[in-house]
Amino acid sequence: MYTLGIDIGSTTTKCVLLRDGSELAATSLVRAGIGTGGPEEAYAAVLRDGGAGAEEIAYKVATGYGRKRWEAADGEISELSAHALGCHFILPEVRTVIDIGGQDAKIISLDQQGLMSGFSMNDKCAAGTGRFLDVMANILNVDVDELGRLAGEAAAPAEISSTCTVFAESEVISQLAAGAAVPDVVAGICNSVATRTCALARRQGVRESVYMSGGVARNEGVRRAIERELGVPVATSPLAQLAGALGAALYGYKKAAKF
Ligand code: ADP
């Protein structure tokens, strides 16, 4: 039996096609989110790659910021629940999920069964989210997927003292004008996101194992900085950005199998 999860985010759309509630038949990721052709493109890609017809899908579940606008959905689930389900599937011993996406950051506490027992969220301010990294990458004229490698090359990470994205932008520009090396500035930017995330995490409480999901998990500079600052290992995996879509597909399986 196939179920499908689609995570329609602010910047990207992710799809997971799940076979029998346990096997990933196909995944897709399109760099276009809510209000674009991204959802349809990601849906078509996952059906094509999984060799499945739309009529073969027992249950389709939407999650993410744009979940209410995907008409093909049979059901929907909040991003918090979707990430909890997805991360528990990826790493059953997870007790704290750090999810940083394109426009928010969430810390989710899980119990032994993988059920959400609490959360903290920053969805009010771009600092500490993927948006901050995207803005800074743009100023530095590098791609977001290069930020992790560049941060690893830093000799003396820059201090970004502004907590506001707009002020931090001016700060980065003046540091570059003063001759700071790009890797040092990138490391400072990654550290700044990590500091905001760790403050949120401490408020929520951090229990091991910790797993990082969302697109920013692909940025090794941020993940390593969080690990350093929290003083605990922060695991991630190539499925991190797909965790919400995976959780939605798992929820779809529960619905379809009527557990
Ligand atoms: P949303 O669901 O809100 O669209 P995602 O969880 O997909 O957000 O995360 C998007 C963010 O992840 C981007 O803002 C970007 O900073 C970061 N990101 C996406 N892809 C990569 C990558 N390949 N390497 C590093 N960072 C990435």
pLDDT score at 54:
93
Distance 203 CA to ligand 1 centre (A): 24
Question: Which atom belonging to ligand 1 lies closest to the Cα atom of 12?
Answer: 4
For ligand 1, say whether the CB of 130 is within 6 Å of any of its atoms: yes
Mutational pocket test of ligand 1: of 121, 197, 219, 237, the residue with most ligand atoms within 8 Å of the beta carbon: 219
pLDDT score at 201:
97
Q: Is 108 helix (H, G, I), strand (E, B) or coil?
A: strand
Q: pLDDT tens, 194-220?
A: 999 999 999 999 999 999 999 999 999
Distance 259 CA to ligand 1 centre (A): 33
Question: Which atom belonging to ligand 1 lies closest to the Cα atom of 79?
Answer: 2
Q: What are phi and psi of 103, to 5 degrees?
A: -140, 5
For ligand 1, say whether the CB of 27 is within 6 Å of any of its atoms: no
Q: What are phi and psi of 172, to 5 degrees?
A: -65, -45
Distance 54 CA to ligand 1 centre (A): 28
Mutational pocket test of ligand 1: of 216, 237, 239, 246, the residue with most ligand atoms within 8 Å of the beta carbon: 216
Distance 130 CA to ligand 1 centre (A): 6
Residues 6 or more apart whose CB falls under 8 angstroms from that of 97 comprise 83, 84, 87, 106, 107, 108, 110, 210, 211, 212, 213, 243
Q: pLDDT tens, 105-144?
A: 999 999 999 999 999 999 888 999 999 999 999 999 999 9
Model confidence, pTM: 0.95
What residue's CA is closest to ligand 1, atom 19?
215
How many CA atoms, within 13 angstroms, populate the side-chain half-sphere of residue 97? 38
For ligand 1, say whether the CB of 103 is within 6 Å of any of its atoms: yes
Cβ neighbours around 186 below 10 Å, total: 29
The one-letter code for the residue type at 86 is: G
pLDDT score at 35:
87
pLDDT score at 33:
86
pLDDT score at 259:
56
pLDDT score at 143:
97
Q: What is the DSSP letter of 104?
A: -
Q: pLDDT tens, 79-111?
A: 999 999 999 999 999 999 999 999 999 999 999
What residue's CA is closest to ligand 1, atom 3?
102
What residue's CA is closest to ligand 1, atom 2?
9
What residue's CA is closest to ligand 1, atom 1?
9
For ligand 1, say whether the CB of 109 is within 6 Å of any of its atoms: no
Q: pLDDT tens, 227-251?
A: 999 999 999 999 999 999 999 999 9
Distance 258 CA to ligand 1 centre (A): 33
What sign has the CA pseudo-torsion 25, 29, 32, 33? Answer: positive
